[in-house]
């Protein structure tokens, strides 16, 4: 464990506890809980020592909240707000934002435009509340004019977007936070740990006794046994959400939109779970798989990854 005075850890811990961080001992580990990025977050810390657990938990929660503050589209004092309200002006971005934008561009190219960090504006017309209220086709067409990375001028560190377009790191920010926070927490505590932010998971290494972390996959289906993943090192993510859809004339409209048409991807799985080397890689593959619609399983087989699909 890195040398750090107990009093500093204590005061940092109190500050984080005030922000919602809880830490409890269990039989053979410590479990931390907090809320970030609008979802429940947990950290399983493979230690018996409370001080080690505190140090690791603080690192994880602070990194999660930092990434949230910096990249949330709901805040009005961060870089995403500055970009989205620039009205066609050039915005200079910092290095971390530039690298995340680069990552977004790589997914845009890899998915042939089906994944696009400028697609968030479609939320203005699509409300997946379980009702039968489909949007007007003209409204969808109009909003679609504001989607498309090819309309963005990006030459680091300068970003220029037409007025009305928005960027949204929602599709990549959480996995990025999981990978970063788990690494930082593991280094801070000097012990293996598992981070789970709303179902996006990363484990930094096998437990000290050599055993694997055990992760249940809840989303496979109501009448099927819950698969269990033995995770020693790597990431697990689940894309899709069975609760977010519209239902009209017996047709189910899932919330994954085809950015070429502005309408839901047809025959998309309700959820896809992927196990990969880290959380981001898993997230990329589970997201891209859903975007393949009926071809999701083929896509996953082609990439030779461990996956579970719920249709």
Residue 263 is a binding residue for another protein (CB under 8 A): no
Say whether the peptide bond before residue 155 is cis (omega within 30 degrees of 0).
Answer: no
Query: Pick from 90, 153, 243, 252: which binds another protein (CB under 8 A)?
Result: 153
Q: Taking contact as CB under 8 A, which single stretch among the options 17-25, 80-88, 175-183, 206-214 is the one that binds another protein?
A: 175-183
Residue 26 and residue 47 in contact, taking contact as beta carbons nearer than 8 Å: no
Near another protein by CB under 8 A: residue from 148, 198, 205, 221: 148
Interface with another protein, residue 135, by CB under 8 A: no
Question: Would you state the structure tokens that stand for residue 94, as one six-digit string?
Answer: 């910092």
**Which of 54, 180, 207, 255 is in the footprint of another protein by CB under 8 A?**
180
Cβ proximity to another protein, 204 vs 281, nearer residue: 281
- Candidate residues 183, 186, 238, 239; the one interacting with another protein per rule CB under 8 A: 183
Question: Quick one: how far is CA 122 from the chain centroid?
Answer: 19
Could you write out the DSSP letters of every residue in 167-234? --THHHHHHHHHHHHHHHHHHHHTS-EEEEETTEEEE-S--TTSPPEEEE-GGG-TTSPPPEEEESSE
Q: Which of 78, 111, 128, 232 binds another protein (CB under 8 A)?
A: 111
H or E element: which one contains 50? helix 50-71
Q: Could you say which of 9, 25, 82, 154 contacts another protein (CB under 8 A)? A: 154
230 binds another protein (CB under 8 A): no
3-class SS at 22? Answer: strand
Comparing CB distances to another protein, the nearer of 87 and 155 is 155
């Amino acid at each position: 464990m890195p040398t750090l005075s107990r009093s500093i850890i204590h005061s940092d811990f109190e500050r984080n506890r005030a922000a919602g961080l809880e830490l409890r001992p269990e039989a053979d580990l410590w479990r931390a809980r907090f809320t970030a990025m609008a979802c429940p977050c947990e950290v399983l810390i493979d230690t018996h020592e409370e001080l080690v657990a505190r140090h690791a938990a603080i690192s994880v929660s602070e990194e999660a909240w930092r990434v949230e503050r910096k990249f949330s589209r709901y805040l009005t004092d961060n870089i995403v707000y500055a970009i989205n309200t620039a009205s066609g002006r050039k915005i200079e971005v910092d290095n971390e934002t530039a690298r995340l934008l680069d990552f977004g561009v790589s997914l845009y190219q890899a998915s042939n435009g089906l994944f696009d960090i400028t697609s968030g504006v479609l939320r203005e017309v699509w409300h997946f509340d379980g009702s039968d209220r489909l949007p007007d086709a003209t409204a969808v067409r109009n909003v679609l004019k504001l989607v498309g990375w090819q309309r963005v001028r990006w030459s680091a560190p300068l970003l220029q977007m037409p007025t009305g377009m928005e960027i949204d790191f929602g599709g990549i920010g959480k996995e990025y936070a999981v990978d970063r926070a788990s690494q930082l927490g593991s280094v801070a505590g000097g012990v293996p740990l598992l981070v789970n932010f709303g179902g996006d998971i990363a484990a930094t290494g096998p437990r000290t006794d050599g055993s694997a972390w055990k992760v249940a996959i809840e989303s496979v289906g109501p009448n099927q046994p819950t698969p269990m993943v033995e995770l020693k090192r790597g990431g697990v993510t689940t894309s899709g959400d069975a609760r977010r859809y519209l239902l009209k004339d017996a047709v189910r409209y899932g919330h994954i939109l085809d950015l070429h048409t502005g309408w839901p991807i047809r025959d998309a799985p309700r959820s896809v779970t992927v196990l990969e080397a880290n959380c981001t890689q898993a997230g990329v593959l589970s997201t891209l798989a859903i975007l393949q619609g009926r071809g999701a399983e083929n896509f996953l087989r082609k990439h030779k990854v461990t996956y579970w699909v719920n249709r």
